[in-house]
Structure 1
Amino acid sequence: MADLKYLFNPRHVAVVGASHKEGKIGHTVLKNIVESGYKGKVYPINPKGGEILGIKVHESISSIDGEIDLALIVVPASIAVSAVEECAKKGVKFAVVITSGFSEIGNIGAEKEMAEKARANGMRILGPNVFGIYSASAPINATFGPSKIRPGNIAVISQSGALGIAMIGKTADENMGLSTIVSIGNKADITEADIMSYVFNDEITKVIFLYIEGLENGREFMDLVKKKPDDMQIVAIKAGRSKVGARAVASHTGSLAGSDKIFDAAFKQIGILRAENLAEGFNWVATLAACPKPAGKNVVIITNGGGIGVLAADACEKYGVTLTSDMELLKKTFEDVMPKFGSYKNPVDLTGQAGGAEYREALERALNEDNIHAIIALY
């Protein structure tokens, strides 16, 4: 089977179902590839021929002379299987099947047939029912989502296409950069484990943000995560907590949600941070992507309000964050930067009269203290 490097760094790309009509998915995908600065050859495929965006359109993928590493399939479900087979026979290494209408609506047979035809010719499939793939290293934006994606050190792997597109928008709003974003959809072939195994070896990626609805092979997934680099973190949102949610998952991507308690225990065992929702997940990802890994476990909260400090302390206990209780250390570090009615106990309360100068002094002292490994500053 083909090396995954050709999925993330394809030398030449085809868009099967490229559309002449602006606003169609087949047009948007092609336009995003071109505008992302992709350096390889791009082959639009459409039986009508002609030109799209000034690029010659080929009537079929078999009519192309050169090699193709990646094909984006953007045709109706009724002809998607034959399109995949044609790509496989051409020698295409990877097909990203954007087309929906397969196992998520009960059309399991066609999805299996698609995967079998690809596998028989040595081609791998991402999807179906996906929004595409973005890779900063290529660079290539082969999605029908936003055209402008900020490069960075966060990898997003999403089983939900719509949620993945929303994640692109959110990262742009928050000035968070992406190393890659991959939509895995129905997982007829390539799974989140396959993508993660590649990303683990990516020197750019620091954090993986994972949205999943179910796992086909939980043990394989756990064994893989245990091999991740020590300096790489994984934040996950696992949907389908409730019975109603689990039923919705089945109709969305055709996945089985599985026992939520089992997922909770498994994630804790292998060191995955499970976020309750997107807002929480993005906060964690942004922090992990921007901050170095602490040298130890001693954490100090610095605040100018007692109540918010208590809430932060509660959250620390909930998530297993160790607040240092070394009173000699705390007194030595903070006693001189607060009024007498302040508190150098942890949380460190600089009191409501503390302004920028007091915070700067307290933070500088904490950062220069080797036995304080991380700081939570609240204002």
Structure 2
Amino acid sequence: MVDPNIEALFRPKSVAVIGASEKPGKIGYAIMKNLVEYGYEGKIYPVNIKGVEIRIGNRVFKSYRSILDVPDEVDMAVIVVPAKFVPQVVEEAGKKGVKVLPIISSGFGELGPEGKKVEEELVKTAHKYGMRILGPNIFGVVYTPEKLNATFGPTDVLPGPLALISQSGALGIALMGWTILEKVGLSAVVSVGNKSDIDDADLLEFFREDDNTKAILIYMEGVKDGRRFMEVAKNVSKIKPIVVIKAGRSERGAKAAASHTGSLAGSDKIYDAAFKQAGIIRAYTIEEAFDYARALSNLPEPAGENLVIITNGGGIGVMATDAAEESGLHLYDNLEDLKAFSKYMPPFGSYKNPIDLTGMAGAESYEGAIREALRNPNIHSVAVLYCQTAVLDPRDLAEIVIREYNEAGRNKPMVVAIVGGIEAKHAIDRLNEEGIPAYPEPDRAIKSLAALYRWSRWKAKQRGE
């Protein structure tokens, strides 16, 4: 059962911004602007002690001097006032009957024991009134199905099936921008900051039940309650994949994490072992994390181990084969079955897996080979590789892949790698917008497919298969 207060974090009927500002460049203005421009359809109540008017585009908002002056109910109140005023604001929000408080303000647990004490008092006050706190020291929350962007990050987040949780504010904002550039669709973005109250485990419980979320990506520096996190993560992993970038792996990095969000990083070996037990896919770089998440949030699980690689270049075929072997993927090697691919290549092509259609491969060759791979029940996953040549525009290949994959019912995992120039980049973007994981390098495509296999095998092990 999901906590109704955490439900209110993602589906609030009304939002107050306490510390809203009429001045562009201020965080209290940016949050108001994002709420309006991203299309939030609930009620928005700016709270500003001076009672100023706030103009966003052609909308003018009257602000209230206190949240207690707002005439209607308020589900969520985003707090953007200086740290010294936060305790009073939390008390007033409690009296108002607010359900959840994302606290943007910093200057608490990350400063040391004194700030930690104040943070604990805030939580005590919130709980007295039955409220929950997100943060403090955060950049806000996004939930795309409700057109909610209560952050001071980018406005134009792309909707999609991946939920992103970040313990770092600046990095989280940067990752939001990166997802827009790389065509990664998000269901949610949550900044957790100091995790004084709502933590990763609470959010995982929400996303487990959320039909709009297919996979979860966490940037983590440490956890407050390790045992609960692992129990919840293991439970969620049986249904939805979780990818974690765990920072603070080195002793020096762990100390930096502690001063950054007041986080206890702990031994990296313990985290590593615990992640494996809980079915969490660990990534070591941002690129790797999003590569994995792209595949895990968009692709169906494989029905078996047989992978077929289709390529027009021996070099990228060899690179993909190396990556497959290193990642524990099985290249299908039944030549009787694979012989069917010979009709899509010249006599000097090779239907031994990887299937080399040769540099002469045009639209018809790729179309036939992809269709063959998708309809053969003995082939369980497909990697389509392409080195840009004058024979076939990569953008035309992208359209072929999209059409064939949709017509086949998207019932097998398929990844694509296109190596080339600006047309290749446009083709990759087009595929990713359509939810078909595409990459600029063959090994990234294969390793992402391997992440899906790792999660699927872990699930089978849990079921005792």
Aligned pairs for 1:201-350 within 5 A: 201-228=209-236, 232-330=240-338, 332-350=339-357
Query: In the superposition, relative to structure 1, how do residues 305 and 252 fare at CA in structure 2: closer, same or farther (>3 Å)?
Result: same
Contact 2:140 2:191 in 1 (8 A): yes
User: Could you say which residue in structure 2 is the equivalent of 1:361?
Assistant: 368
User: Could you say which residue in structure 2 is the equivalent of 1:61?
Assistant: 67
Between the aligned partners of 1:13 and 1:188, the Cα distance in structure 2 is 21
Aligned pairs for 1:1-379 within 5 A: 2-53=4-55, 54-106=60-112, 107-228=115-236, 232-330=240-338, 332-379=339-386
Displacement of 1:60 in angstroms is 0.7
Displacement of 1:73 in angstroms is 0.5
The residue type equivalent to 2:40 in the other structure is Y
Contact 1:8 1:137 in 2 (8 A): no
Contact 2:221 2:248 in 1 (8 A): yes
Displacement of 1:229 in angstroms is 6.9
Q: Secondary structure at the match of 2:331?
A: coil
Between the aligned partners of 2:374 and 2:64, the Cα distance in structure 1 is 60
Query: In the superposition, relative to structure 1, how do residues 242 and 371 fare at CA in structure 2: closer, same or farther (>3 Å)?
Result: same
Q: Deviations over 1:71-100 (max 9, x none)?
A: 000011121222222212221110000011
Contact 1:333 1:366 in 2 (8 A): no
The residue type equivalent to 1:361 in the other structure is G
The residue type equivalent to 1:102 in the other structure is F
The residue type equivalent to 1:81 in the other structure is P
Contact 2:237 2:279 in 1 (8 A): no
Q: Secondary structure at the match of 1:222?
A: helix
The residue type equivalent to 1:220 in the other structure is R
Between the aligned partners of 1:278 and 1:229, the Cα distance in structure 2 is 21
Between the aligned partners of 1:267 and 1:320, the Cα distance in structure 2 is 19
Contact 1:9 1:139 in 2 (8 A): no
Between the aligned partners of 1:348 and 1:219, the Cα distance in structure 2 is 47
Query: In the superposition, relative to structure 1, how do residues 257 and 96 fare at CA in structure 2: closer, same or farther (>3 Å)?
Result: same
Q: Deviations over 1:1-30 (max 9, x none)?
A: 743211111111111111121110011101
Which range is displaced more, 47-56 or 126-135?
47-56
TM-score, normalised to structure 2, is 0.77
The residue type equivalent to 1:171 in the other structure is T
Q: Secondary structure at the match of 2:315?
A: helix
Contact 2:143 2:149 in 1 (8 A): yes
The CA RMSD measured in Å over matched residues stands at: 1.9
Displacement of 1:145 in angstroms is 0.7
Q: Deviations over 1:205-258 (max 9, x none)?
A: 112121111122223222222322756322221111122221221111111222
Contact 1:17 1:45 in 2 (8 A): yes
The residue type equivalent to 1:268 in the other structure is K
Contact 2:214 2:298 in 1 (8 A): no
The residue type equivalent to 1:293 in the other structure is E
Structure 1 segments (4+ residues) deviating >6 Å: none
Q: Secondary structure at the match of 1:241?
A: coil
The residue type equivalent to 2:358 in the other structure is T
Query: In the superposition, relative to structure 1, how do residues 342 and 180 fare at CA in structure 2: closer, same or farther (>3 Å)?
Result: same
Q: Secondary structure at the match of 1:266?
A: helix
Contact 1:2 1:124 in 2 (8 A): no
Displacement of 1:339 in angstroms is 4.1
Between the aligned partners of 1:372 and 1:96, the Cα distance in structure 2 is 48
Which structure 2 residue ranges, 5 or more long, are not aligned? 387-465
Between the aligned partners of 2:38 and 2:347, the Cα distance in structure 1 is 58
Displacement of 1:138 in angstroms is 2.1
Displacement of 1:113 in angstroms is 1.3
Q: Secondary structure at the match of 2:92?
A: helix
Query: In the superposition, relative to structure 1, how do residues 369 and 189 fare at CA in structure 2: closer, same or farther (>3 Å)?
Result: same
Between the aligned partners of 1:154 and 1:247, the Cα distance in structure 2 is 30
Query: In the superposition, relative to structure 1, how do residues 320 and 260 fare at CA in structure 2: closer, same or farther (>3 Å)?
Result: farther
Report how many residues are paired: 378
Query: In the superposition, relative to structure 1, how do residues 261 and 317 fare at CA in structure 2: closer, same or farther (>3 Å)?
Result: farther
Q: Secondary structure at the match of 1:378?
A: strand
Query: In the superposition, relative to structure 1, how do residues 98 and 266 fare at CA in structure 2: closer, same or farther (>3 Å)?
Result: same
Between the aligned partners of 1:79 and 1:254, the Cα distance in structure 2 is 21
Q: Deviations over 1:175-227 (max 9, x none)?
A: 22211111111100000111111011111111212111112222322222232
